[in-house]
């Protein structure tokens, strides 16, 4: 539960509705500058991930998250705490 | 990007706004004639965006008290409450606030912004949780930043989302401060406070309620939404302002938690700023007495609010979800909102222009606030001015704003 790899997979799934077709994802993709998410879409993505994992991602930790990797690391940390 | 380059986008926004020959933000009232009238751009103008809910800014009792205090105690205290800035008037105001709200104690701050920001920032620290409504005022958001606590937002007035957030916090609710506002300043809608209190009972946590726009406005005695909803005992901290229904400037926190007296020694927004001037303290005390003694002011305010809200709805405007002293008129298009604001002013009516991102949704607002001091004739003139806007013919346009806020 809450491994880094599981988090990455989950983020890929949750990201799908937000992405332009044809974009190639990698763990280093930045949510805003590479994938073109607006700040509102980032919040929607976070809410989607929160619901899937039934956790809370505090707003104050989000400024440190730019890439999928950083988001996945944060999630595995948060779910690790919870279990 | 160099230090000052980040302000560049503001300069094009300012140019847009200036296109009509006058900047809608920071309008100069050249002469203030009464709580509801002033000279703007050389013209007699009805003021319908002042938050002067009870119209007490010219109440003879308040003016006389302020004059007397200035004569007796001088123009300023020149110091902090912690140092030389506590006069007997400050203490008396605190006792009278505590009495008015039926609480053990009160703290007086120099502005409402400082009261809210200071209480949020001081009550919570690293390791604690701030669970705040998504549409919270800037003072709450700034308090969050200063606190170092984990910040969790729930969707505006959405009890299901609040419950989900509380449930997920588990044991951390013991260290959680829920923050809500009595009456939201932009849309004019009220918090579902009974429901919030019920969730607080079920999951734990503390509750801070910002009654800046609801003191003197809601509740049989004017104590705000907590009184109106019958849940005052469950609201741990009430913060508010003197700059709306009480007609001066300043802020307060009331609570029956004994810790409030300790917060006096910890709140930087209280300690490191000069205390309110004697005139402000004196007029606020007089205004508080008037609020307590004249419930008919509140009745008049609500009559006026309903008259405007119903009238605007009849014209076909899309409004905030709830009638009240703040009436938000939605205009989908930003340019239309700016043009409409200028046309209202040309017709002798001042309201607040509110553009995203200051609005909670994507829509622009022509925000009106009512006063007990408005006459029926003034409200009819406001309605007439709104009816004359070109945008009136085109509305209502479907907007996402309403569905998100009901």
CATH classification of the domain holding B128: 3.40.640.10
Residue B405 predicted with pLDDT over 60: no
Q: What is the CATH number of the domain that holds B392?
A: 3.90.1150.10
- Nearest C-alpha neighbor of B136 from the set B51, B208, B237: B208
User: Residue B391's pLDDT band (boundaries 50, 70, 90)?
Assistant: confident
Chain B contact set for A55 (CB, 8 A): 168
Q: What is the pLDDT of residue A82?
A: 46
Is residue B167 domain-shared with residue B70, that is, in the same domain?
yes
Is residue B224 domain-shared with residue B79, that is, in the same domain?
yes
Is residue B177 domain-shared with residue B287, that is, in the same domain?
yes
Q: Which of B151, B153, B168 sits opposite A54 (nearest CB)?
A: B168
Mean pLDDT of chain B: 94
Report, in this order, helix, strand and coil percent for chain A, each rounded to 5: 60, 0, 35
Of all residues in chain B, what percent carry a pLDDT higher than 70? 97
Chain A contact set for B165 (CB, 8 A): 56
Task: Tell me the pairing of strands B129-133 and B364-369.
Answer: unpaired
Residue A12 predicted with pLDDT over 60: yes
Token pair for B200: 């607080």
Cβ atoms of residues B243 and B53 within 8 Å: no
Mean pLDDT for the stretch of residues B332-358: 92
Residue B64 predicted with pLDDT over 50: yes
Radius of gyration over every alpha carbon of chain A, rounded to an integer in angstroms: 12
Check CB contact under 8 Å for A59 and B152: yes
Q: Which residue of A has its CA nearest to B150?
A: A58
User: Residue B171's pLDDT band (boundaries 50, 70, 90)?
Assistant: very high
Q: What is the CATH number of the domain that holds A67?
A: 1.10.1200.10
Residue B394 predicted with pLDDT over 70: no
Number of domains composing chain B: 2
Give the separation between CA B312 and CA B269, rounded to whole angstroms: 40
Q: What is the pLDDT of residue A2?
A: 67
Is residue B283 domain-shared with residue B321, that is, in the same domain?
no
Is residue B242 domain-shared with residue B391, that is, in the same domain?
no
Give the separation between CA B303 and CA A20, rounded to whole angstroms: 52
**B258 against B15, higher pLDDT:** B258
Q: What does each C-alpha distance from A22 to A15, A25, A35, A38, B394 come to in angstroms?
A: 13, 9, 11, 18, 40
Among B293, B322, B343, the domain-final residue is: B293
Chain A contact set for B162 (CB, 8 A): none
What is the rounded (10 degree) CA torsion for B209, B210, B211, B213? Answer: -150
Whole-model pTM?
Answer: 0.93
Mean pLDDT for the stretch of residues A46-51: 93
Among B275, B293, B311, the domain-final residue is: B293
Q: Which residue of A has its CA nearest to B165?
A: A56
- Neighbouring C-beta atoms of residue B393, cutoff 10 Å: 10
For tokens 């919040």, what's the residue? A43
Q: What is the pLDDT of residues B131-151, one digit of tens each?
A: 999 999 999 999 999 999 999
Cβ atoms of residues B50 and B35 within 8 Å: yes
For tokens 């009559």, what's the residue? B303
Residues in chain B, how many?
406
Q: What is the pLDDT of residue A81?
A: 53
Backbone angles phi, psi at B293, to 5 degrees: -90, -15
Q: Distance from A59 to chain B by nearest Cα, in Å?
A: 5
Is residue B348 domain-shared with residue B387, that is, in the same domain?
yes
Among B244, B274, B293, the domain-final residue is: B293
Residue B225 structural domain: 59-293
Which value does ipTM take for this structure? Answer: 0.86
Is residue B131 domain-shared with residue B269, that is, in the same domain?
yes
Task: Tell me the pairing of strands B37-40 and B43-47.
Answer: antiparallel
Interface check A83 vs B, CB under 8 A: no
Give the separation between CA B341 and CA B351, rounded to whole angstroms: 7
Q: Distance from A69 to chain B by nearest Cα, in Å?
A: 22
Interface check B169 vs A, CB under 8 A: yes
Is residue B52 domain-shared with residue B148, that is, in the same domain?
no
Q: What is the pLDDT of residue B132?
A: 98
Q: What does each C-alpha distance from B29 to A73, B24, B122, B190 come to in angstroms?
A: 54, 12, 37, 30
Give the separation between CA A63 and CA A82, rounded to whole angstroms: 22
- Neighbouring C-beta atoms of residue A13, cutoff 10 Å: 12
For tokens 């939201």, what's the residue? B184
For tokens 């380059």, what's the residue? B5
Residue A75 structural domain: 4-82
Cβ atoms of residues A79 and A73 within 8 Å: no
Chain centroid, CA B265 distance in Å: 26
Token pair for B329: 């008129």
Residue B326 predicted with pLDDT over 60: yes
Number of domains composing chain A: 1
């Amino acid at each position: 539960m809450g491994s880094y790899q599981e988090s990455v997979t989950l983020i890929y799934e949750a990201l799908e509705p937000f992405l332009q077709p044809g974009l190639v994802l990698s763990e280093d993709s930045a949510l805003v500058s590479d994938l073109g998410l607006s700040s509102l879409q980032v919040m929607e993505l976070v809410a989607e991930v929160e619901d899937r994992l039934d956790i809370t991602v505090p707003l104050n930790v989000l400024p440190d998250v730019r890439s999928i990797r950083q988001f996945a690391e944060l999630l595995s940390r948060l779910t690790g705490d919870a279990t | 990007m160099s230090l000052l380059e980040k302000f560049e986008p503001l300069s094009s926004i300012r140019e847009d706004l200036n296109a009509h020959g006058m900047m809608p933000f920071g309008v100069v009232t050249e002469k203030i004639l009464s709580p509801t009238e002033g000279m703007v751009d050389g013209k007699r103008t009805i003021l319908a965006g002042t938050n002067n809910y009870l119209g007490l800014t010219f109440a003879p009792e308040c003016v006389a008290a302020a004059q007397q205090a200035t004569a007796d105690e001088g123009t300023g205290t020149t110091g902090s409450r912690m140092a030389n800035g506590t006069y007997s008037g400050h203490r008396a105001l605190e006792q009278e606030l505590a009495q008015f709200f039926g609480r053990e104690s009160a703290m007086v701050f120099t502005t409402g912004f400082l009261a809210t920001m200071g209480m949020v920032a001081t009550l919570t620290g690293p390791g604690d949780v701030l669970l705040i409504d998504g549409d919270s005022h800037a003072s709450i958001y700034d308090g969050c930043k200063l606190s170092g606590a984990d910040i969790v937002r729930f969707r505006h007035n959405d009890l299901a989302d609040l419950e989900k957030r509380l449930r997920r916090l588990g044991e951390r609710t013991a260290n959680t401060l829920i923050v809500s506002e009595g009456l939201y300043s932009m849309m004019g809608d009220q918090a579902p406070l009974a429901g919030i209190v019920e969730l607080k009972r079920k999951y734990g946590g503390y509750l801070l309620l910002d009654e800046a726009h609801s003191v003197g406005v809601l509740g049989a005695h004017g104590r705000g939404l907590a009184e109106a909803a019958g849940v005052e005992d469950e609201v741990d901290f009430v913060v508010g302002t003197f700059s709306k229904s009480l007609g001066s400037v300043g802020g307060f926190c009331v609570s029956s938690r004994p810790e409030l007296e300790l917060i006096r020694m910890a709140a930087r927004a209280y300690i490191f700023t000069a205390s309110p001037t004697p005139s402000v303290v004196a007029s606020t005390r007089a205004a508080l007495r008037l609020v307590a003694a004249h419930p008919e002011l509140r009745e008049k305010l609500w009559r006026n609010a309903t008259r405007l809200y119903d009238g605007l709805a009849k014209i076909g405007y899309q409004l905030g979800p709830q009638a009240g002293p703040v009436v938000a008129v939605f205009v989908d298009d930003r340019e239309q909102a700016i043009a409409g604001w200028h046309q209202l002013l040309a017709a002798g009516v001042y309201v607040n222009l509110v553009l995203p991102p200051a609005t909670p949704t994507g829509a622009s607002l022509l925000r009106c606030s009512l006063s007990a001091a408005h006459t029926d004739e003034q409200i009819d003139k406001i309605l007439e001015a709104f009816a004359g806007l070109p945008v009136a013919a085109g509305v209502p346009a479907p907007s996402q704003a309403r569905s998100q806020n009901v």
